[in-house]
Each structure stands twice: as C-alpha cells, then as structure tokens.
Structure 1
Amino acid sequence: MNKNIINIERKFRPEIEGLRIVAALLVAIYHIWFGKVSGGVDVFFVVSGFLITTSIISTINKTGEFKFWPYISKLMKRLFPLAFIIITVILVLSIFFLPLTIFDKTLKEAISSMFYYQNWQLAISNTDYLDANQMKSPLEHYWAMSIQGQFYIIWFILFTCILFGIKKYNLSNGRRLVNLVLGFIFVVSFAYSIYLTKVNQPLAYFITFTRVWEFALGGLLCINLSRIKIPNIAAEIIGWIGLIGLILTGALFDVSTMFPGYIAAWPMTCALLIILSGNKETKYGVKNFLAMPIMIKLGGVSFGIYLWHWVLLSFYKYNISENPGIISGILIIALSIVLSFITTKYIEAPIRNAKSNKVAFKKIGLIALVNILLIAGLYTQNAYLKTADNKELASKDYPGALAVKMKGKLKEMDPKPGFANVFDDLPQSHLDDTNQGLKKSDLKIGTYGKKKDYKATIALVGSSHSEHWLGAVIEAAKENDYRVINITRSGTRFSTGYEDNTLKGQWVKNLENYLKKSDDIDLVLSHVTAADTTKDRIQQQMVDELMKVKNEYGINVLAIRDIPRYEFNVSEELEKSGEKETIKMMNKANNQKDESYWKKLLENEKDLATFDPTEYFKINGEYRPIIGNIVIYRDMDHMTNTYSKTFGPILSEKIKNIVKK
C-alpha cells in the first residue's frame, strides 16, 4: 500500500488565515452597526472543513491509521480553553449586568454551549412562537461552535469508515472514494437545506444537517484544490470578485431569514473563488492582501475575536445603548482583538502546548468546574427570586386592569411579576402544553374552570393573541360556574385567510368541524384584528370566520380587539431603561394599526358582540408598561398571564350578558 493513502497537497495557505479574519470582522461589523448577519459564519464552516480534512488526511497518510483520542484531544485543547473561559466571564458579568428577563435563557445556553448542543436548543426556541422575540443572550453566538463540534465528530466517523473501506478493499485511489462520499454528503445536505429553509427557516438556520454541506465543500476543496488549474489573470479577477462578494453578502441578503438555503451558496462561492485564486502567485491577486503579516497574525486569533465581540456587544446593549455609534463600535472591535490576543496567549496557547494531556485537561477541567459551580449558584439565586415573586397578589395592592377605573390614588408597590418571572408568565394552556405548536394541524384541547355541573361552556380559539386572554376567561368562569375550553395554535389566526393545503388552513378546518359538531358550546371568543397591520382584508377574514360560527353553527361569539403591539420587547425595555423611558417609547410607537378597521367594524357589524380592551392599556390617555402595579407585557405583543387575570371581572359581565341571551 502506498504511504499516501489519500493523495493531497499539504502546504501553508496564508490567504486562508487572512480569509478567517475577514470573516470574523464581517460578523462583528454587521452585528454591531447593522444588526444583521453577514454570512461570515458560513465562511468559517467551509474553512473548518478545509483545514480539518487536510489534518485528518495528513494523519492517515503519515501513520496509516486514524484514532479517536489523539484526534479529539487535540481539538479539545484547541477549542475548549477559550470557549470555556469566555463562558466564565459571561457568567460573572451576568451577576451584575444581565437583565433578569433573560437570566433563565442565558443559564440554559451556558450549559448547552459547554456541551456543544446549543444550536439545537436555539432551533427549538426560535421555532416556538412565544420565544422568538426574546432578547438574545450573550451566548447566542455559540450556536456556530456547537455545529462545529458536532461536525468534527461526524468527520471522525466518516473518515474512519473511509479508511476502513480503503484498507478492506485495498483501494489504490482513496481520493476517488473521498470525493464520492463528500460529494454525496454535499448534495444531500444542500438539497435538505434548501427544502427545510423553505418550510421551516428558523429550524433550518440552526440545525447541523442543513450546514454539513458547507463543511463538505471545504473538504472537497482540500482534496481537489491542487488539481484545479487556472490562468494568472483569471486567478486575480476571481479572487477580488470573491472578496467583494463576500463583504457585500450581508448587504445584499437578509441572511438571518434566508439562510442556509440556496442563498448560502453565495458566500460559499465567494470563499471558493478566494481559495482558488490562492493557487497562483500573482502580482495583483487578493492573496497579496490576505497574506499580509498583519492579516495572518489576526487570522490566528479570529476564533477569539468571534467569541469576544458578541459578549462585549451584548453587555453594551443591555446596559448602555441598543445601537452602538461609530466610536463605541470601533472600541468593541478593538477590545475584542486585544482580549483575543491576551486569552489566546495566556490561556489557550499554554493549554494547547502543554507537555502532556494530563496537564492540559486538568486546567480545562478546572475552568469547566468553575463554570458548573457558577451555573448552579446562579440557578439557585434565580429560583429564589422566582419563589419570592410567586406570593399571592393582594387585589387591593395589585388590581391590574381594574386600576384604570379605580377612584383615588393607588399605593405604588413593586410591580408583579418580577423581571425574573415576566417572560415565563404564560397562559396555563402553554404551561400544560395544550396550545398547539407550529408543526402539526391537529387540535389540542385544554379544559379549565368547572368541569362538572357547569352552567355554560366558553371556547377560546385562535392564535396566541387569543390564548393570552385565557387567564381572564378562567377568572370570569370562576364567578359564573362556567367550563372553559382552550383551542389555540401559535401564529395561526381563526380566519378564512389560509389555504386549505397548509398546516394553518388544515388547523382552521379542524377547528370549524369541531365547533360544527359540538352541541355543548355556548360562546366562542377570539381576537378579530391584528394590531400590527393596516390590511383590512386580514381583519375581515377573522370577522368572517366568527360570523360563520354564529350564523352557520348557531354559537354566540365575542370578537375581541387585538391589544397594542410594539416593535420592541416592552418588559425588557422596562428593565433596561426604566418606566419613564419605556412610556415615552410606547407612546411614540404606531402600536394599533387596526384603528380604522375597528371603527368600520363597530359601524357595520351591529349583530357582532365586541370587546375593545384598549382603554385598559392606558392611564390618562397614555400607554403604560405597568398598570395597577402589574407588568402588562411579557414581550412585544403578549400580555402577562398576571395582567390577563385581572380582566376577569371585566370579561365576566360581558360574557354573562351574551350567554343569557
């Protein structure tokens, strides 16, 4: 058997080091000043695929074998020290500077980041309609690290199988087998990425299988790069095209909502062109720029720059300003570079170059232990804050919506729920999982209130903007011995506006059939406007659906106007900026775009019972984040369950009058 089991050309590619720092700086620049994603992470993935494939094949060619522990221990010594020490810094800073509204989220992501599954956690939370708008944690960028770690395991399994096949069948051309395997993975993963991005982009963005093709492309480059011959002039042209195209990726595409489908081929192609151009030594090629000593040096710490910039940016946004200026942004990048050099030199390099694995892993284990202890301590502290906040509310001190019409001045108390609890102050249906998520169209039915000998049945139907009224309806039911059923689906209005062949359309049809067949429902409640749109068609489709329930199924209905919505997370802004500043922001916002339609509805739908809650979100004509000592919003457009419950007496009279008719 030839010594080189898989023939490749292995040489130092200085332009790849330069490409890494360009990718890292693009990520930072787009994050800081544009609040966008740049495509730089995708370039990191293709470069990682190139470098690790080169390393694996070189090991196989040199030793004739490929063992797990030497391979994985080398990677752990390279990746863990920096990743773990930055988690330590984040946890310590969190004690003093992290908003309580995202404390739970950050602690969960600290654990998932340490164990390299954070991308899957984010995939789940970003496909949860009620989680999607929560503030990003200072660890959110570790999703790319998690995918990279999983990729390294996949590549070990892959090349172990390839080496086994080469030896078993005494193959003389290992390169052909590697090309075949990596080519197959590239095609399958790319096709799946295109498909899943179309049907569920938030899930596709974070999961491993839609990203493997990017690593496979790097591997294919490693195998075939030396065989690709191009003229000098072509090398010069395509290199600069690749660099300019890469820089413009974030400006040309909305990466966070369009990737990683076929659009992700753009930065991949740009990286491919840059690396191909590096095959030639030319006078004006992009390689001359990327291979400059300063670029190579910065490329060596690009991993640290990627990790540090998001941490600094996050805490800046939490505590100083949501939008960094030119000077502050430059300082964030500069400090990221300085911290990366320091932590690489004094933490990562000594561990990576330790005389023995025992010494290296003893130090890594110590950092990991500190992190675990910090996480345990912070969980305990947060649990205490939540328990202290869960004491029974005294109605006279915490009237919530009822305070709007109270006479006399209300004694000011610490608002409830506290910031540690506000995000998780959800309707009961969401807590016991009777709200249907986004993946299925079948009905989930939650039953509340009086379940035997009840006087009437009230059905709450529609999207999460109906669901957040569940607390109010349950409280109203207590006063009147009603049964309450909740049939809601996140992100899905009870509307005639969906195609029957979609999941949303199928769910609405299933709900219609349920109501049509039911002989035990006395009232259906649903929101009938969407405060984030001026489109009368959307509003009318919800009204049409309720009128169908009333006229065709013979069930009473109550049409509820949507609550004011905002383009910022109200509870997070309240914690960051204080009540006065949040009130200013709320009253500057165009938060009820359904105003004109609601007026038309009241004029033209005389036989439709309606409820407009808008007045209960204002004091003296001014929108407020806290009313009656209760925090109103859990995010940008959903009520806290605590505030919803205070509508109980208000809705009780409304419901009673309709049910009696």
Structure 2
Amino acid sequence: MSGGDTGGTGTVTAPTTAARADPVGRDGGAGRGPRPEVEHPVLEAHHRPELHGLRGLAIALVVVFHVFGDGRVSGGIDVFLAISGFLFTGMLAREAVRTGGAVHVGRYLGRIVRRLLPSAVLVLAATWVAGRLLLPETRWEQLGRELLASLTYRENWELIDSQLGYGAAGALTSPVQHFWSMSVQGQFYLVWPLVVVGCVLVSRALRRSVWPVLLVTVAGVTTASMAWAARLHLADQQVAYLHTGARLWEPALGGVLALLALERRLPRGVRVVCGWVGVALVATSGLVLDGAALFPGPAALWPVGGFALVMAAGSTGTRWGADRWLSGRWLAWAGDIAYPLFLWHWPIVVFTLVVTGRDRLGPFDGALVILASVVVAHLTHTLVERPLTGPPLRRPWWVVLVGALVVGLGAGALGAWTATLVQQREAALAQAAQDDPAYPGAAALGEPGFGNTGATPVPDLAAAPRDNADVYDQGCIQDHADTEAASEVLVCEGTAPGADTTLVLTGGSHMVHYLPALQVVAEQQGWDVVVISRSGCHLSANTGDYPTATDALPTDSCVAWNDAALETFVELDPDAVLTLGSTTQPGSEQVSRGFVDVWDELDREGIEVIGFRDTARLPQGVPDCLSEQPEDTGGCGMPRAQGYRDAPPWTGRDDLPGNVSFVDLIDGVCTHETCPPIVGDVVVYSDHSHLTATYVRTLAPMLDAELRRVAPQLYR
C-alpha cells in the first residue's frame, strides 16, 4: 500500500504554537477573530484532538506494513483520505457559508502549497539524486516520468498508464510509487471547493439552508463513487486501486461525517463503545483483509468505517474513551511528523533493498529503516514544515506563485531530462536495427567468448528494456490485465495482406518476441504474418493444467480470450498457427495439457500448428544486471541446465496430434553449458526472459532453417 499524509492542510491538532498561529493550517479551518454565524450548528469549528492521534496511528500502520507487510496494506491510506475529506469539507463549508458562497482562492491554495509542497519537493529531489546514484541507467527514464508525475500530482494516472499497479516494496519497485495517494489527495483538493461553493450557491438560489444541500450532494458523491469503485474493482482491480473516481468516496464519506457531527448527537456510553470499536477496526484492517486485492471496493469500509466510528465518538470526557488514548503525547507526535514520515519512508525502504540486493527486509534491517525514516521525518518537520507553516499566511498569492514557479521549474527540468533519455534510447534502437555485420549476434554464439569483442554492445543498455517487436507500437497486443475488455481479440495488421501463405503468430509475449526473425523470413518468402496475441496468456484450451500441480493458472479473461481467439483462427484459416510448444512458466519446462487440447481442436479444423520451445526465466533482469556490474557480464547469465531440460519437453510424448511440429531455437540463445547475456556484441535479453528484437533478428537464418525442416509446405 502507499499513500500520503492526506490530511496535511487543515489538520486538527493539539494546540501548538504552529496551530495557534496558522488560522486554517492546523486548527481545522477556524479563522481568527469572532466566530461567524452559521446556518447549522454542525458547521461550527471545534477542536478534535483525537483526530490527530488517529493520524499518528494510521501512519504507524502504513510504515510498519510497508516494511514488514510483504505487500499487505494497512488501511491507513484509506483513513488518511477520509481525514482529508472530513477536514476540508468542514473548513470549506464554514468559509463558503461565512462569505455567501465564495472561497478565497489565493488563501485556499496558499495553505495547500505551503503545507504540502516544501516537504514533497525535498523528498522528490533527494529521490532523484539517489536514483541517479543507486539505480541502473535502465530505470532512469521511468524514474523521470514518475518524478514528474508525482511533482504535478498525477502519479496515480502515470502508474495506470504505465500498467504499473501497486506492488510490495522491492528493489525493482518505484521509489515514488507511494505518491499515488498524494495525487488522489491533490486532485480532491482542486475539485472539492467547486462542489462546496456550488452547493452554497444552489442553496441560496433555492432559498434553502446550505447544510441539507451540502449533505445531500456530498452523500450523492459518496454513493456514486462507491458504486463506481465496486464496479471497477470487479473489472480491473489494479486500476481501481489507483483511480481517483474509485477513491473519491473515501474523502467524500469523511465530508458526510463532518456535516453530520454525530459526536454531538449520540449518548456518551454509545460513543465510548464506538471509539474503541473504531480504533480496533483501523488497527486490524491490514491483519484481516488483503487490501491490495480488495480496496477500494466495499471491503475498504473496514478501515474507513473505523475512522467513522472514532469521529462519531468524538471527545467522550471520560478516561475510558478511545479519544483519551488517541490524544496521548506519542500518537500526537506521530501525527505531527506523519506527512514527512510518509514521504520519506518508502524511498528509504526501496533504496535500502537496492543497495542490499534483498527481496525484503528482516526484523533488524526493517527496524533500522523505520528508525532512519522517523529521524529524517522529525528533522523535516522541525526544519522545514514548522518554519514554513507556523507564521500567519499574510500574502497567499505570493505563496501560490512561488509554489507554481518551483513546480514549473522542477517539471521543466525533469521533463527535459526524461526527454533526453527518450531521445538517446530511440537513437540507440535505431542504430541497433541496422544490419551491421560488426554485430553478428547469434551467429557468433559458438565462437570463443561468444564472439564478443569488447565493443559497446547493442542495443544500449538503457534502451534494451524497450527493444521489443515493433508490433507493440500498433496497440494491437491485448493487455494482460484480468478485465472484461482484455478478453476481446485484437488482430494486428498483417505484414503482406493478400499473400498466398498466411501465418498466425499467437501464444503471449514469449512468442511475440520471435516476431522480428519471422518478419525477416516472411519478407524473403512473401508470407503474410498476422499477430493475434495477448500478453501473459498462453494459447490453451482449458484452465492451464500442467502435468504437475501448479499455481500458474490463466485468468478468467485469458480463458475467455482463448475461446474467442480459436473462433478467429478458424475464420482466418491460416496455413499455420505459430504458438508456444512448451512453457517454462511453472519453473521448469512443461507441455501443458491445455496446449495439447487446443492443438487437437485446431487439428479438427485442419489447421497446422508449429510450436516453439519457450525461453527460460533468468534469476535477474539482464539489462539491469549488466548496468550494475559491467565488468562481470558472466554473472548476468544462467547455466543452461538451470532453465532447460537436456531434450525438449515434447520429446517422447505420445499424446500429440499429427498437425503439430516443433521449432527449437534455444541452441541459438544458449550453448550446451550456459545462456550468456551478450552474444556477438548484442544484448540477448530485454529483461529476465524476453529476447531483444535486435538479437532475435540475428536468429532469422536459424529460424528459416527450422521452418524449412518442419514445415516445407510453406516454401512451395
């Protein structure tokens, strides 16, 4: 899970110097001077110290689960979002009512800028420096994109666009992934004033009290967003987790609670029970629920409901109330540093894993990371936050202009840096695409040192992860997400429409990476090659049963895609379907029973099948590994026996239909002993299991020979 101190501006805290000095920053929005008259008593500001303690509890849960949760989420981010809605709805409603429907835009934006921006800019700048020093060059482009998105409060959309869903902390995880919730918060801050002001204006036009109009509107937004979250959760969980519309119900529900002011309506005994039940729900959410898989669907009501109960309890005036505990010194202090602690802890965790080379932190290392995060957060709060947020906001527009200037300069610098990286990558890929005999690739595999001369290999390591088949640029390779839309079959434009011989290439990304070699052969022979494939989805007739038990099962949408794809193949009636003839997905080479079943179906339709031997998964991503240890390239490869059997896994099978023949190109990737990362001065892998398009093109002569052997009818 990731997220930010989403209640930063307008926080209700224990009365500190900063809180007393800032008319809206930390005292819940109560302005200085006489209390204005309001149209409903719940629109009056009042002190809520337990809210600040709840913030402290939530940030503690977030940090602990990020360090030790192994991908489980605490629900703390959901609580933060609800706190934001509670505080800002009350603050904006009071100001809009007081002014007759207006919100002082400069003062409002100034509060947000000086509360949120300084610490965020500091952390993002430090992350950029650390990323340049610690991350391989292969990750710089994505780092630049995400830093820019985080600075401009659209990181959640960047993750969605890049298909980088929420993931547990790891050496390969983005160090600014957690800014997704800050982006949701920032978008909420921009939209919510319009909602509140609109309600005030509507109430005055209708000559009604503003309170019921606000309540009905905010409750309507809550209901609509909850319905959208539930629907999107079923359609695409990863997108739902990050989507602003699916998250809006959490701050909106906080707004409903601010307007209801239940703490003034319930009996004390009921409120005492509500307070402790609420604390228990917040504290246990991450232990009971797998929030990464369930939020922000209805299950998120567990932590958000806990927040609601704590707010309904309010100040009970008894030592037995949860508010007494939440108002304690330690939770109040945790609430003080919550925002910088949230910002710092995630990149510290990620970079620690990068430096140590571990997949996760142990108890001792994790404790040190938490301690370091707390120390840095405390220093940031003391040296940055307090000096900037303490003095009264006298010239809000100057604050806004300075903030806009900082964001503009930072965005410009990051955009220019990222654009330069992109240009360098494209130039490197263009160079690698040239048929240069100085880079023989697979043809030099049997030579001493695999034919490497010591020259800088192609493609450039920073470009290697993007060195894929050009068909991906057409947008016709179906996404791997388990969604209803992903079950639609997309047909890529053929290489030579109308040709006498038509081949269909399918079977997932481990087949598509062979396309550059097939295109070379097809151009020589005048074949039409049509790609119909979905990432992460093998061509299989059942739920992916392998000869042995495995958890590598296709998703429901993959099964649906396969059913529709078979119908498409029959309609096209190609001369052959090229697909995977084996898979290394379970960890060792297998021929799935589902593969055999689908070959039987194609046999009944009179369609020939050519199965390709799958490429094995290496222990690490090759471009990253080569970038990190350029002097020890051998350590970035893999012993052949670790990934492949002595003989192809279809050898000796007596259950294979007669329409199937097999192509084995692994001898063009590995020697008898090893699978090297660089061959003939060409980088072999674009990640840990996919081949670079540059290297695959050098396999074209071998593929031509294999196809002539197993499918001579194609050459007539």
Structures share fold, TM-score greater than 0.5: yes
Among residues 451, 454, 473, which one is paired with 1:410 in the alignment?
451
CA contact (8 A) 1:226 1:279 kept: yes
Residue 648 of structure 1 deviates from its aligned partner by 1.7
Cα distance in 1 for residues equivalent to 2:535 and 2:171: 16
Establish whether residue 35 from structure 1 lines up as the match of residue 70 from structure 2: yes
Aligned to 1:495: 540
Q: Distance in 2 between matches of 1:223 and 1:581?
A: 63
- Letter matched to residue 361 of structure 1: V
Q: CA RMSD in A?
A: 3.6
Tell me the alpha carbon deviations over residues 335-378 of structure 1, each in whole angstroms, 9 at most, x when there is no partner. 33333333344444444445312442354244324413431452
- 1:639 pairs with 691, 694, 697, which one? 691
From 23, 30, 52, the equivalent of 2:58 is: 23
2:641 & 2:321 partners in 1: Cα distance?
A: 50
Return the offset for 1:54.
1.9
C-alpha deviation, 1:231, in angstroms: 4.2
Match of 2:463 among 393, 406, 421: 421
1:654 matches 2:690: no
Would the aligned equivalents of 1:531 and 1:593 in 2 still touch at CA under 8 Å?
A: no
Q: Which residue of 2 aligns with 1:201?
A: 237
Residue identity matched to 1:511: A
User: Which residue, 588, 596, 600 being the options, matches 1:543?
Assistant: 596
Q: TM-score, normalised by structure 1?
A: 0.87
SS at match of 1:485: strand
Partner in structure 2 of residue 371 of structure 1: 410
Change (3 A) 1:602 1:467: farther
* Paired letter, 1:525: L
Letter in 1 for 2:363: I
Mapped pair 1:523 → 2:576: yes
- What SS class does the counterpart of residue 419 from structure 1 fall into? coil
Aligned 8 A contact 1:531 1:594 in 2: no
Q: Select which of 448, 465, 471 maps to 2:510.
A: 465
1:298 aligns with 2:352: no
User: Structure 2: which amino acid aligns with 1:10?
Assistant: A
For 2:662, the equivalent position in structure 1 comes to 610
Closer, same or farther: CA 313–537 of 1 in aligned 2, 3 Å = closer
Mapping of residues 85-96 of structure 1, within 5 Å:
85-96=122-133
1:3 matched to 2:3? The reply is no
**Residue 216 of structure 1 corresponds to which residue in structure 2?**
252
More helix by proportion, 1 or 2?
A: 1
Structure 1 pair 548/127, CA: closer, same or farther in 2 (3 Å)?
A: farther
Deviations 1:160-200 (A, max 9, x none): 2211122112224x333333222222222222212211121
Q: Which amino acid aligns with 1:20?
A: R
Q: From the superposition, tell whether residues 405 and 459 of structure 1 become closer, same or farther in structure 2 (CA, over 3 Å).
A: farther
Select 2:81's aligned residue among 39, 42, 45. 45
Q: Give distance in 1, aligned partners of 2:648 and 2:79.
A: 48
C-alpha separation between the residues in 2 aligned to 1:204 and 1:342?
Answer: 35
Change (3 A) 1:82 1:595: farther
1:503-652 map, 5 Å:
504=558, 507-518=561-572, 521-533=574-586, 539-549=592-602, 551-565=603-617, 569-576=621-628, 583=635, 598-599=650-651, 601=653, 604-605=656-657, 608-652=660-704
Counterpart of 1:270 in structure 2 is: 306
Q: For the structure 1 residues 127 and 336, does the alpha-carbon distance in structure 2 shift closer, same or farther, using more than 3 Å as the test?
A: closer
State the identity as a percent.
25
- The superposition leaves residues 25-69 of structure 1 with CA deviations (integer Å, 9 ceiling, x where unpaired) of 222222223332322111111111111112112223433333251
How many angstroms does 1:221 deviate by?
1.7
Q: 8 Å contact 2:165–2:239 — kept in the other structure?
A: no
> Which residue pairs with 1:183 in the alignment?
219
In structure 2, the CA distance between the partners of 1:403 and 1:297, relative to structure 1 (3 Å rule), is same
The answer to whether the aligner puts 1:432 opposite 2:511 as a matched pair is no
SS in 2 for 1:484: strand
- Structure 2 vs 1, CA of residues 514 and 12 (structure 1 numbering), >3 Å: closer, same or farther? same
Question: In 2, are the aligned partners of 1:39 and 1:264 still within 8 Å (CA)?
Answer: yes
Choose the corresponding residue for 2:501, options 436, 450, 456: 456
Give the letter for the 1:460 counterpart. L
Between the aligned partners of 1:618 and 1:291, the Cα distance in structure 2 is 64
| 1:479 shift after superposition | 4.3
What does the per-residue CA deviation read over 1:189-224, in whole Å, with 9 as the maximum and x for residues that have no partner? 222212211121011111111111111221122122
How much has 1:566 moved relative to structure 2? 5.7
Q: Partner residue of 2:185?
A: 148
Distance 1:60 1:442, change over 3 A: closer
Question: Residue 387 of structure 1: CA displacement?
Answer: 5.3
Q: 1:218 to 1:348 in 2, by over 3 A?
A: same
Change (3 A) 1:136 1:243: same
Contact 1:448 1:484 in 2 (8 A): yes
Task: State the 1:472 CA deviation.
Answer: 2.3
What CA distance in whole angstroms lies between the structure 1 residues aligned with 2:426 and 2:587?
42
Q: Distance in 2 between matches of 1:66 and 1:254?
A: 42
Structure 1 residue 558, shift from structure 2 partner: 0.6
Q: Residue type matched to 2:576 in 1?
A: L
1:168 to 205, 209, 223: 205
Equivalent position SS for 1:634: coil
Asked whether the 8 Å contact 1:135–1:569 carries over to 2, the reply is no
1:116 aligns with 2:153: yes
Return the match for 2:428 from 370, 379, 389.
Answer: 389
The CA distance in 1 between the partners of 2:323 and 2:444, in whole Å, is: 68
1-structure distance, mates of 2:234, 2:465: 29
Q: Is the 8 A contact 2:97 2:200 kept in 1?
A: no
The AA in structure 2 aligned to 1:332 is V
CA–CA distance in structure 2, aligned partners of residues 136 and 144 of structure 1: 16
Q: State the one-letter code of the partner of 1:5.
A: E
Provide the secondary structure at the position in 1 that maps to 2:466: coil
Counterpart CA distance in 1 for 2:55 and 2:694 is 49
Report the alpha carbon displacement of residue 156 of structure 1 after superposing the two structures with TM: 1.4
1:69-96 deviations in Å (ceiling 9; x for gaps): 1333322332222222322222233332
Alpha-carbon deviation of 1:594? 14
List per-residue Cα deviations over 1:415-464 (Å, max 9, x = no partner): 43333112211211112323233535554333465567x67332212322
Indicate whether 1:226 and 2:263 are aligned. Answer: yes
In the alignment, is the contact (CA less than 8 A) between 1:127 and 1:203 conserved in 2? no
Tell me whether 426-435 or 67-76 shows the greater mean CA deviation: 67-76
Displacement of 1:487 in angstroms is 1.6
Match of 2:139 in 1: 102
CA contact (8 A) 2:637 2:675 kept: no
Count of aligned residue pairs for this structure pair: 651
Partner Cα separation in structure 2 for residue 135 and residue 646 of structure 1: 30
What are the equivalent positions in structure 2 for 1:329-344 lying under 5 Å apart?
A: 329-344=366-381
- Counterpart AA for 2:238: P
What is the distance in 2 between the residues matched to 1:503 and 1:594? 35
Q: 2:469·2:515 contact (CA, 8 Å) conserved in 1?
A: yes
Residue 327 of structure 1: CA displacement? 4.0
Q: How far does residue 282 in structure 1 lie from its aligned partner after superposition?
A: 2.7
Q: 1:623 Cα shift?
A: 4.6
Kept in 2: contact 1:570–1:635 (CA 8 A): yes
User: How many Å separate the matches in 2 of 1:594 and 1:67?
Assistant: 74
Q: d(CA) in 1 for partners of 2:453 and 2:206? A: 80
Q: Measured at CA, do residues 575 and 534 of structure 1 come closer, stay the same or move farther in structure 2, by a change above 3 Å?
A: closer
Counterpart check, 1:474 vs 2:519: yes
Supply the distance in 2 between the matched residues of 1:134 and 1:445 (Cα, whole angstroms). 36
Instruction: Look up the equivalent residue of 2:51 and give its one-letter code.
Output: I
SS at 2:463's partner residue?
Answer: helix
Q: Which runs of 5+ in 1 are unaligned?
A: none
Counterpart code for 1:212: L
When residues 588 and 426 of structure 1 are mapped into structure 2, their CA distance, relative to the original with a 3 A threshold, is closer
Query: Is this contact kept in 2: 1:30–1:38, CA < 8 A?
Result: yes
The AA in structure 1 aligned to 2:187 is Q
CA 1:284–1:442 in 2, change beyond 3 Å: closer, same or farther? closer
CA–CA distance in structure 2, aligned partners of residues 191 and 538 of structure 1: 43
Provide the TM-score with structure 2 as the length reference.
Answer: 0.81
Separation in 2, partners of 1:602, 1:469: 27
Measure how far apart 1:140 and its partner are: 1.4
